[in-house]
Amino acid sequence: MTKINLLYVITKLELGGAQKQLLSLIRGLDKKKYNVFLFTAKDGFLVSEASEIDGLTIRMSRFLGRLINPLKDILALIEIYFFIKEKQIQVVHTHSSKAGILGRIAAGVAKAPITVHTVHGWSFNDFQPAAVNCFYAFLERVCAVFTNKIIVVSRFDQDKGLRRSIGKKEQYILIRYGIDLQSFRAQDKRNEVRKLLGLGDSDLVVGMVACFKPQKSPLDFIELAGLVKKDFPDIKFILVGDGQLRKKIDLRIKELELKDRVILTGWRDDIRLILSGLDAFVLTSLWEGLPIVVLEAMAASVVVVATDTGGIKEILTDGKTGYLTKPGDILSMRNRLEELLNNNQRKDEFIRQANKDIDTEEFLLSNMIKKTADLYTDLLKRDRNV
């Protein structure tokens, strides 16, 4: 049987939900059926991890980047176009906003038989100037014209896309993020991770995992730490990640005299281990698609307090499996977090119910891989029958 040439395009292999899911998908695909290629930026925390995947050919671009740069963006688009033609790509599957636009335009011009895009949160959001928001929505509408299927990880994103006239309802398919639930539940290394991070056995520990960019609002996490420390003398805060806001975070930690309270770990590839050492997990995002790290925290039996963004309500029920607050409402987040830290019974109830809610086939990694592979098969069959 002739192998199918499959190309994934993602802007940058940083430590994020979209990137982690993509690499998990690539690992799980049947390499006897697919020749798998990946087009991405030349740098990124997960590049070395991706390079170790058997059967994957990576093309790293010096032009593709997260920030808008008209000249480099055009050059990246041309690179993708020629790569599709050179490798005779049959399926192009794009991830992330920038790669989703450039990759799909290149696929359309190159006349690739099948084009799929996964929405990990739309490129437009309520925190942008109106003109920018409308421009990004326009680009998404244009690209949807030559996209066979639009994968969403939450119903929220499907509804949001349809409200902005992006594609037709029949173009959308819901495929949830999938995680290896048992691998998170198997982690019982609380003392090990606390020793590793210089924490005491009696310390209360609150953590967040995020790229230091405006979307994740990591400065709100620092503000939260400044408020909560007044009521909990033994509390520590762990912020995992890095990025463009690092200097502002360092400065704010100094201003609030939190140097002995906040631990900045930088990028780490042992998130399962980190989660096992937490008493609570916080997410301060301003906008999201479906934050996979919340699923991971729930699977690791860590109670969650998060902002009510994107499709998070589809996995976390406020007042039942965790708490949700409005984005930017740090006082409310403090109240909810302190309530759980003071009430172990309620915290344990939330954790038990959260484990029940996500212990379904819908959130299994194997299910995500199978549904995506089945989609490719179905689209290729339709293409041959046209």
Q: Over 60: is that where the pLDDT of 386 sits?
A: no
Question: To the nearest whole number, what is the mean pLDDT of the chain?
Answer: 94
Q: How confident is the model at residue 183 (pLDDT cuts 50, 70, 90)?
A: confident
Quote the pLDDT of residue 384: 74
Q: Match 């930017």 to its residue by tokens.
A: 328
Residues 6+ apart with CB under 8 A from 294: 281, 283, 304, 306, 312, 315, 316
Q: Exposed, middle or buried: residue 344 (CB in 10 Å: 0-12, 13-18, 19+)?
A: exposed
Condensed to tens digits (0 to 9), the pLDDT of residues 224-276 reads: 999 999 999 889 999 999 999 999 999 999 999 999 999 999 999 889 889 99
Running DSSP on this structure, what letter comes out for residue 249?
Answer: H
Question: Which ranges of the chain would DSSP assign to H, the alpha helix?
Answer: 17-28, 47-51, 70-87, 97-110, 130-144, 155-163, 181-185, 190-196, 218-228, 246-255, 271-276, 292-299, 330-342, 344-358, 365-385
Token pair listed for 300: 């690791």
Pairing of strands 56-61, 204-209: unpaired
The per-residue DSSP string of 31-53 comes to: TTTEEEEEEEES--TTHHHHHTS
Residue 28: C-alpha distances to residues 24, 189, 266 (Å): 6, 27, 28
Token pair listed for 107: 């696929």
Condensed to tens digits (0 to 9), the pLDDT of residues 92-119 reads: 999 999 999 999 999 999 999 999 999 9
Phi (first) and psi of residue 60, to 5 degrees: -100, 125
Rg, the chain, Cα only: 21
Q: What's the CA gap between 132 and 139, in Å, rounded?
A: 11
User: How many other CB atoms sit within 10 Å of the CB of residue 282?
Assistant: 28
CB 129 within 8 A of CB 123: no
Q: Over 90: is that where the pLDDT of 186 sits?
A: no
Q: How confident is the model at residue 187 (pLDDT cuts 50, 70, 90)?
A: low
Condensed to tens digits (0 to 9), the pLDDT of residues 265-324 reads: 999 988 988 999 999 999 999 999 899 999 999 999 999 999 999 999 999 999 999 999
Q: How confident is the model at residue 16 (pLDDT cuts 50, 70, 90)?
A: confident
Residue 12: C-alpha distances to residues 20, 59, 61, 95, 221 (Å): 11, 12, 10, 10, 25
* Helix-helix angle 344-358:292-299, to 10 degrees: 110
Torsion angle of alpha carbons 139, 145, 147, 153, nearest 10°? 60
Q: Over 60: is that where the pLDDT of 380 sits?
A: yes
Token pair listed for 12: 């940058």
Q: How confident is the model at residue 385 (pLDDT cuts 50, 70, 90)?
A: low
Residue 99: C-alpha distances to residues 116, 123, 149, 266, 372 (Å): 12, 11, 16, 25, 19
Q: What's the CA gap between 270 and 272, in Å, rounded?
A: 5
- The DSSP element (H or E) to which 128 belongs, if any, is none
Residue range 329-358: average pLDDT?
Answer: 96
Domains of the chain as residue ranges with CATH: 4-178+364-385 (3.40.50.2000), 181-362 (3.40.50.2000)
Quote the pLDDT of residue 291: 92
